[in-house]
A and B are shown apart, each in its own frame.
Chain A
């Protein structure tokens, strides 16, 4: 009987050790996933700010006027009859 109990206790100890390790591994995986997600968010925030500035620059009155002139000059170069 006592050997049976000792065996069960040993099995419980091993089970607990394996369980704990599994949970810790799962935790690590989740933490790593969270960290990767955080990095992605920060990276996209950087990209978003870059795009905002880029679009603002493109939409400045000077740039729009330049773009308009470029279109008009191109049209003029291709006959210009419609102008």
Chain B
């Protein structure tokens, strides 16, 4: 090789050697000297480091978990989540359209029209033209806002240069709850056709209620609200507002992330993994959908009868509850409102509306007093107002307001006191209780204490706060509170509380109501235990009270359920011996927002069936604010009895169909205790009465 050639080679290789040195220097310049971070509006600065570059190459789509599916006791769907898309748009106006205001406005109008057309692509959509016009208006406002399109249009200078914002990409939440395939495909097609538009389909859920009218209060509803995050941001979250929806078990799990990688053009591609959505938990409620519908129908029919029959105005509200005695399961809990504007805004009356129970507590008072040995079942009490016994036992107390009955009762045994619903007779028996015993009576039957259902908005009611105040002299307590308690005054309850009180009377003192049977999470079944029955009334007391309640709906013309019996006899149904129960009518004063104190009448009935071996109990109450005649036996009782009969028919039908209670996934699930195995009458061996002193 010649010397010149060698020199050329050296120069060539020397130059080649400079290249990596230059590249190393250049990279160092980029990474170190020009390194740092990019400032971003409303976001923390983006550090220009290798991890950022790696992160740009991957992407994760959040697949939210659905809220729990709520079903009735036989598996009928009541509430469930289904997947929908929320569509977000990223618009980068093309340079050709960002030259003048006119071109920008034309571009936005075209985009708006395209999007509106895509949104009405569903072939099943009725009134397409109106829907398209509405979408066009909605999108015009939405897309025009970031570009100040309205102001540009009003200025009218279409040849002018548009504002700088026209050259920046904007992101908007276009529409939520997109679910029809035709619409999704039309939007995806538009996304592919318009390079300046990128549509992101964010996965979310929509809550559906298949039996909305029947389950407003019981199942409740959800609301989507902005929630503060730990890092200071805000996210939209769906929360249960009331009913079963508000239970922690109904809350969705955390969901999962679906991994993606970005290709060279920034398009995400799926890298494998589970495509399916997380399975929802299944919340088995205790409600029986058929009976719930029946309860609503009966309550509505009864509540609307005054106006229908020209007998005054309809009540303000009503509640009807059906409970299975063996388990304490609430099978139906219906609300009725006269002035409610929407079902979701109205209160759930069985749980939230308080009323003075009146005479329906008399069996409870007499059973409690009987258990303490303070009732002589064979003695005849003189229930004549102003009679010798009255003057001695009630008149001597110095009570301002006399105790009276609806009709002259004469001499009555405790049995007669119950079937005639004598206030004077109940007062004689109630006055046998001491103040502490009255306090224990309230606790025994659960008045003023929570039902423990963990549902929001509960009204606990209870006695007047002054009733048990220690500075109230005993004589004053006996003259006022003890007398009032004896026939259901000076006490506020809900229909469900009355149901629990009767459940304790019939089943045992530890009985509680149940609204959830259990939760199925995947393979795991978490049962909500049935409350223990607890101590029970002595058989003698129980039989005395039960017998009286059977005769309330009997042949005695003075029985408060006699009219009810005659009504059903016309339809060929003999209630005596079939249904037992107690009527209640109370006159109270309640405060209202617009009318101040108003006198209301509460008609109520608590009944059970079959009368000789109770399996279901039902409580109905209607509150009326006019002065029309309104009695528990005539007004509340028919709905209660029809519901009880319906429960019996429904059970017979299910028995004939041999239809067992079903869990999810085809698994047959039977209750831990069968309805006929409640043991409601026999005290457990060795059990003692908390009350003692029989």
Sort chain B's interface into a size bin: 20 to 34
CA of A31 to CA of B264, assembled, Å: 12
> Is B241 an interface residue, CB under 8 A from the partner?
no
Q: Which of A14-53 contact B (CB under 8 A)?
A: 28, 31-32, 34-35, 38-39, 41-47, 49-50, 52-53
A50 touches B77 (CB 8 A): no
A43 touches B184 (CB 8 A): yes
Closest residue of B by beta carbon distance from A24: B264
CA of A44 to CA of B201, assembled, Å: 13
CA of A60 to CA of B212, assembled, Å: 12
B211 touches A35 (CB 8 A): no
A57 touches B210 (CB 8 A): yes
A41-B275, A45-B83, A46-B181 known; A28+B211 contact, CB < 8 A: no
B263 touches A49 (CB 8 A): no
Q: Which of B596-630 contact A (CB under 8 A)?
A: none
Count A interface residues, CB 8 Å.
Answer: 23
Partner of B267, one of A32, A44, A49, A57: A32
Q: A42 contacts which chain B residues (CB < 8 A)?
A: 203, 275
A35 touches B82 (CB 8 A): no
A46 touches B83 (CB 8 A): yes
A35 touches B269 (CB 8 A): yes
A28-B264, A39-B188 known; A53+B82 contact, CB < 8 A: yes
Q: B211 contacts which chain A residues (CB < 8 A)?
A: 60
> Is B174 an interface residue, CB under 8 A from the partner?
no
> Is A13 an interface residue, CB under 8 A from the partner?
no
Closest residue of B by beta carbon distance from A38: B270
Q: A67 contacts which chain B residues (CB < 8 A)?
A: none
Interface of B is mostly: mixed
A50 touches B180 (CB 8 A): yes
User: In whole Å, how far is A51's beta carbon from the nearest beta carbon of chain B?
Assistant: 9
Q: B114 contacts which chain A residues (CB < 8 A)?
A: none
CA of A31 to CA of B311, assembled, Å: 75
CA of A57 to CA of B185, assembled, Å: 25
B188 touches A35 (CB 8 A): no
User: In whole Å, how far is B197's beta carbon from the nearest beta carbon of chain A?
Assistant: 16
Q: B83 contacts which chain A residues (CB < 8 A)?
A: 45-46, 49
Interface of A is mostly: helix
User: In whole Å, how far is A11's beta carbon from the nearest beta carbon of chain B?
Assistant: 21
Partner of B275, one of A32, A38, A57: A38
Partner of B181, one of A28, A47, A62: A47
User: In whole Å, how far is B278's beta carbon from the nearest beta carbon of chain A?
Assistant: 13
In the complex, number of A-B residue pairs with CB atoms less than 8 Å apart: 58
A46 touches B184 (CB 8 A): yes
B208 touches A35 (CB 8 A): no
A46 touches B179 (CB 8 A): yes
Closest residue of A by beta carbon distance from B83: A46
> Is B251 an interface residue, CB under 8 A from the partner?
no
Q: B82 contacts which chain A residues (CB < 8 A)?
A: 46, 49-50, 52-53
Q: B188 contacts which chain A residues (CB < 8 A)?
A: 39, 43
Interface string of B207-245 (1 = CB under 8 A from A): 010110100000000000000000000000000000000
Q: A12 contacts which chain B residues (CB < 8 A)?
A: none
CA of A28 to CA of B77, assembled, Å: 44
Closest residue of B by beta carbon distance from A32: B269
B270 touches A53 (CB 8 A): no
User: In whole Å, how far is A48's beta carbon from the nearest beta carbon of chain B?
Assistant: 9
Q: B203 contacts which chain A residues (CB < 8 A)?
A: 42
User: In whole Å, how far is B387's beta carbon from the nearest beta carbon of chain A?
Assistant: 57
User: In whole Å, how far is B63's beta carbon from the nearest beta carbon of chain A?
Assistant: 9
CA of A47 to CA of B180, assembled, Å: 6
CA of A49 to CA of B84, assembled, Å: 9
Partner of B270, one of A34, A57, A61, A62: A34
> Is A56 an interface residue, CB under 8 A from the partner?
yes
A35 touches B267 (CB 8 A): yes
CA of A49 to CA of B184, assembled, Å: 14
Report which residue of A32, A43, A52, A61 has the largest number of chain B beta carbons within 10 angstroms of its beta carbon.
Answer: A43
Q: Which of A58-80 contact B (CB under 8 A)?
A: 60-62
> Is B268 an interface residue, CB under 8 A from the partner?
yes
B263 touches A31 (CB 8 A): yes
B268 touches A35 (CB 8 A): yes
CA of A70 to CA of B180, assembled, Å: 28
Closest residue of B by beta carbon distance from A61: B293
User: In whole Å, how far is A27's beta carbon from the nearest beta carbon of chain B?
Assistant: 9
CA of A34 to CA of B84, assembled, Å: 22
> Is B526 an interface residue, CB under 8 A from the partner?
no
Q: B185 contacts which chain A residues (CB < 8 A)?
A: 43
> Is B468 an interface residue, CB under 8 A from the partner?
no
Q: Give 28 A-B contacts (CB < 8 Å), ordered by A residue.
A: A28-B263, A31-B263, A31-B269, A32-B269, A35-B267, A35-B268, A35-B269, A35-B270, A39-B201, A41-B275, A42-B203, A42-B275, A43-B185, A45-B83, A46-B82, A46-B179, A47-B181, A47-B184, A49-B83, A50-B179, A52-B82, A53-B82, A53-B208, A53-B210, A56-B210, A57-B210, A60-B210, A62-B213
Q: Known A-B contacts: A43-B185, A56-B77. Give 20 more (CB < 8 A).
A: A28-B263, A32-B263, A35-B269, A35-B270, A38-B270, A42-B203, A43-B184, A46-B179, A46-B184, A47-B179, A47-B180, A47-B181, A49-B82, A49-B83, A50-B84, A50-B179, A52-B82, A53-B82, A53-B210, A62-B213
Q: Which 10 A-B pairs have the closest CB atoms?
A: A47-B181, A49-B82, A31-B269, A35-B269, A38-B270, A50-B179, A43-B184, A46-B83, A53-B208, A35-B270
Please list the residues of chain A having a beta carbon within 8 angstroms of any beta carbon in chain B. 28, 31-32, 34-35, 38-39, 41-47, 49-50, 52-53, 56-57, 60-62
